[in-house]
Structure 1
Amino acid sequence: MLATTLRTPTRAAGARVTSVALALAAILVGLLLGPGLTQAHAVTDVRLLQRDLAGLGYAPLSGVDGVYGPQTTESVRHFQSDNSLDVDGDAGPATMSALTAKVKLVQSKAGTPADGDYGSATLTAVRNYQSAHGLDIDGIAGPQTMGAMDIDRITSSGSGTSSDTKLLQRNLVGLGYLGSGGVDGIYGPATKDAVLSFQSDNGLQVDGIAGPQTNGALTAKVQQVQAKAGTSADGDYGPATLAAVRTYQHAHGLEEDGIAGPRTMASMGIARETGGGTPAGGSGGTPTVPPVSGSVREKIIQAARSQLGQHEWSTNCNPYGPCVPWCALFASWTWRQAGVNFSTAFSGDFYYYGRNHGTLHNGLSNPQPGDAIVFGTGPQNTSTSVHVGIIEKVYSDGSVDTIEGNASDQVMRRHGTPSGRGAYAIVSPAGA
């Protein structure tokens, strides 16, 4: 009879068995959890990701559990949408880099080490910042807190790819709404401001989002320029269009920069402004303003008071911009005297400024000197957003004094309650 020899499995064989077992376990877990949770996420530290999302208000603090589940995926998608990233819910290198950078901005403003980890030290530092600035003290850098810190929370159109954004930027640069170095594929604050200006000039919803209507109007305007310049009207203001416009400018004695700005478009017979009113003349120049000092709010009020009695000298011709209805030109001018980088000819832009900077008041609550008060029924267009002024003084009965441009064709003081005068929004300058 042959003897049977029992062999102990070798280490290699054991490793193979273990590997197979782990693979089978992983497959079983995937089947149990469903396809939505089997994605291999690029992030290596899920808790760090969740802390940063929670710290910026994209997820609850209770969601820091180390599990990359549906809630974390949706929070990542929200952040990606706000920051011109591919909206796939996966926190890859680009998303983590943008998130870390935003957290570091908050940490720097709050006076704590900018390590990109929104941990307990950052929560405490932000609470201290909120306490010092009269904000809700929760340690979360949500829209209101980031607005006070002058950090742009939304730096995206919320849609489109990098190549789409570059086309948009080329067209905005070509029409003189964006600086020549602005073609980077990132829908940041400069691009959003350029879109706002184009929308205001063209009777579009002024929301800073380059949706189908805005892109369609922009493409059509570029095609008009291309047709006048004698180049292919493909709606892309690329090198060929720049060269053709330079040739046109040379032939017509214009500055040869290739940009279809106001003078070039006027020479071509193309209406640049079709929404907020057609300019009847040029700017009246820069108004004289005495030196201003103190806080941002105090500087705004000093600048506004210095202009009381200033009249327009022809139909809508004023010292603060072109000859158009000029209440918003005046109000944004007062903000700029205090160092607030904001300029607009449309009152509804103040609403969108407040929404994007976290400084839009809840209803018409808590008006403060230096705030903008916007009148009408909403920010959609010049028919619904009809006027804007600067709040000068607030009274205990809820009424306010305002200083307003283009009020009976001059800068003048008015008094009343916000609701009684038909206001729909109160907006604070960021950092005030």
Structure 2
Amino acid sequence: MSTATSLRPPTRAPGARLTSTVLAMAVLLFGLLLGPVAGQAHAVDVRLLQRDLAGLSYLPLSGIDGSYGPQTKDSVRHFQRDNGLAVDGDAGTNTMAALIAKVKQVQAKAGSSADGDYGPGTIGAVRTYQGSHRLDVDGIAGPQTMGAMNIDRITSSGPGTGTGTNSETQLLQRNLTGLGYLAAGGVDGVYGPATKNAVLSFQSDNDLEVDGIAGPQTKAALTAKVKQVQAKANTPADGDYGTATTDAVRAYQSSHSLEVDGIAGPRTMASMGIARELGGGTPGGESGGTPTVPPLDGSVRDKIVQAARSQLGVHEWGNNCNPYGPCEAWCALFASWAWRQAGVNFSTAFSGDFYYYGRNHGTLHSGLSNPQPGDAIVFGTGPQSTSTSVHVGLIEKAYADGTVDTIEGNSSDQVIRHHFSPAARGAYAIISPAGS
């Protein structure tokens, strides 16, 4: 008779059990140190991550819910693409370090405690910064606010956002230069800060997403605008603002009594009947309403100040619609309107034109010296384009300490008064009206 054999698991020696326990603990500790793998619950403070993403406009404020869901992952991917990180949607060590560092840059510029947490204190500080820099006051450090802070939002490489040299980038730069958004020396094939800022300006003018990325929509809009210029200048409309287009625009400018530089800037495009800034209205026509002006008396300067004061509190409506001209950025429309009320024959939608007016009429001040009521004060770095000449106001009163009161249109979407030191606020020119 055969004997049945019972099969039992082999008995482990005490030393083997101890080794197994130690290995299990080591694996657990290693996992805690490394954090969870992608797709699992994150060890990061998810609400901190979301506050920072929302503060930099990668995530809506409503997305701060403590849940690392699809919306948060997509926002992380967007931030990673912009900052040259591995695009996996996982907020690992490198991504969190880059995000916190970017928030600290914003906090430092806004005068807030640089702790890397975009909380209510930072939102309040950014709102204050935006209010003092004529930006939309929402407390969010989006592309325009970060641009004003001189913080590089996009540092990654690749098509449309990178730093590599290529013919596609040179075409983009030729077109931006031809339309006056980029300096002539900027055609170098490198998608650096100057090119990104030029793209931001073009996107803002053309009602596109303002992100500094020359994606398909931005490139299509830019090519279409160049083709409009080429058609008006009677040169082949191939969408490439090359030498032939520059020469054709020079010929057009010469025959229309414009400054001959071959660049289709604001004045040349206005002469061509091409809308440089989208948002409604037609060049040269008011977008709605008629300003109410009381009787004016006194000198030219007195009348300018009286006209400007009478408009304090006037708000825009819709998309930059205003009673002084078409639905577009209207600080220069307002300032030149006030000059015309005093009999000064001058009209423009571009702040840089005040500089050229002063140069042509001999009323351009030396530096920022001797400001007087009724003078125009222009902000930025120079009159070359809308990306360098960004705003204009009218001086209401000048003080012995060098500060001034101004009345400015399109400031926080209205006509409003400011007090400041011209140099400290970034003014580059003061211009008097002729005959004053």
TM-score range normalised by the length of the shorter chain = 0.3 to 0.5
Which structure carries more relative contact order (alpha carbon 8 Å, separation 6+)? 1
In the superposition, the TM-score normalised over structure 2's length comes to 0.41
